[in-house]
Amino acid sequence: MVCSICLEYGHNRNSCFDKTLPQYISYDNDKTKNMKRKNTDYQFTELLVCLLVLGLNPTENITYESIIDFSNKKYNEKKLKCNKDILQKYYNDLNISFIKKTYKLSYLLNFKIENLNFKLIDIDCVYLTGKTYKDFEELVELNKSYIDKKPNSDIYIKLLNKKICGISCKQTKECPCTNKVVELDNVELMNTRERILIENGITKDNYKNKRGKNGEISKIFCNTYCISNVKNDYWKKLENHIINNKNYFIQGVLDSTCQGNYLPYDIYEYDGTNLINTKKRMFNKDECDIKISDIFCWGKTGPRNASKIWFEFLHNNNIIYNLEVRFKGTYFGKGGQPQIFVLKESKKDINSYIEASEKFKSSNL
C-alpha cells in the first residue's frame, strides 16, 4: 500500500499524518469546494498526459484514487520522473479538480496515442517537470543551446533509444498557445502607462485594491473603440510599437507555436481535444503578417467591453491566431507591462464575431 499524500508505503491517505507537504488538501474537506487553485505551474492535466503516455487506460473505471495509485506505481518504478514535493502539488490540483468537478474524462479519451511517432513499449521514462526542467540535468543539456527559443514542453518523454520528445499540455483548446511581453524595454511606453495610471489616482501603493473586472484600472484601459474609435494614449502607442516591430513578434509566435521546427526534438501539443505535432503548423515567416484587428474586438453578441487590444496573426491573408494583449495585474514597472496571448480561433467563431459587428452597426445607424 502506498499513501497518496506522502508517497510512502505502509499506510493510506486516511491515516497519513504528514500534513506539512506544500498545499496539503484533504479530499473529504468540504471547505475545499470554495478554494481556488493557488499555483498554475502544476496543472493536473500535465500529470494526466504523463500517465496516458505511461499506459493509463482511460476506458477503465477512472477515479481520483485510481489515478493516484497508477501514478505512485509509475513513480516507484522510476518510469515517472518528478520531484516528490512537486508531484504532491499535482496531486493537490487533481484533488481540487475532482471536488470542483473540473476534471473531464474526455480529456483522457481524446488523447490519441497513435498520433505520436513511437509506441508505448518504446518508452524508457517520462519527466514531469513542473515550473522548470532545470532539476533534470539531461533536459538542461538537451536545451542548453536553445534557451532563446524558450522550450515550453510540460513533459518530456525519453525513449529506449535515448531520443527525447516533449509535449506542451493545455487544459482546453481555448487556452493560449503562449504569451509574450510586448514593450521590449521601451521606456516611453512604460512611462506613458504609469503616467495614465497616476493621473487617474492609481499608485504603486493602492493599485491592488483597484484591480478586477469592474475596478478603476479596468475602466481606465477599457476599450470600446470598435464603437467609439477612441483609444487612450498608451494603447495607441503600443499598437504602433507592435506594428513597427512586427517581424520580431511574428518570429516570437512561430518560435512558440512551432517549436518542433526550432528545437532538436519533436514537440507535440495537446489541448484536451487534439494531439498534434507542432511541426505541422509551421509557416514561412515571409508569408506571415500581423495587423490591428477590427474583428476580435467584437464578441458573439456585440462589442467586447475589455481592457485589451487585439491583433490578427495572418498567413497568406488568412487569420491563424488572435493576438490578445492584456495586463497581468501588476501595472507598474517593467513587470507591469501587458502581454500578448496567442489564441486559436475557429472559423465559425470568427464568422460569428463578424456577424455580430455587422448586426450591431446596422442596428445603430
Mean pLDDT of the chain: 87
Confidence of residue 305 (pLDDT cuts 50, 70, 90): confident
Instruction: Return the domain boundaries, the chain.
Output: 13-169, 178-258+280-363
pLDDT given for residue 230 in this prediction: 65
Pick the more confident residue, 208 or 15: 208
* Grid coordinates of 222: 477599457
Cα-Cα-Cα-Cα torsion 269, 275, 278, 283, nearest 10 degrees, comes to: -120
At 303, is the pLDDT very low, low, confident or very high (cuts 50, 70, 90)? confident
- Please state at what angle helix 64-76 crosses helix 44-53, rounded to 10 degrees: 60
Mean pLDDT, to the nearest integer, of 46-55? 96
* Per-residue pLDDT band at 310 (split at 50, 70, 90): very high
Give the pLDDT mean for 270-282: 93
Average pLDDT over residues 242-261: 94
Residues facing residue 169 across a β-bridge: 270
Single-letter code of the amino acid located at 92:
N
Model confidence, pTM? 0.82
Q: Supply the pLDDT for residue 40.
A: 66
| Terminal alpha carbon distance of the chain | 71
Residues 6+ positions from 14 with CB-CB distance below 8 Å: none
Distance CA 352, CA 10 (A): 57
Given this model, what pLDDT does residue 348 score? Answer: 94
Reading the block at residue 250, the C-alpha cell is 511574428
pLDDT at 359 over 50: yes
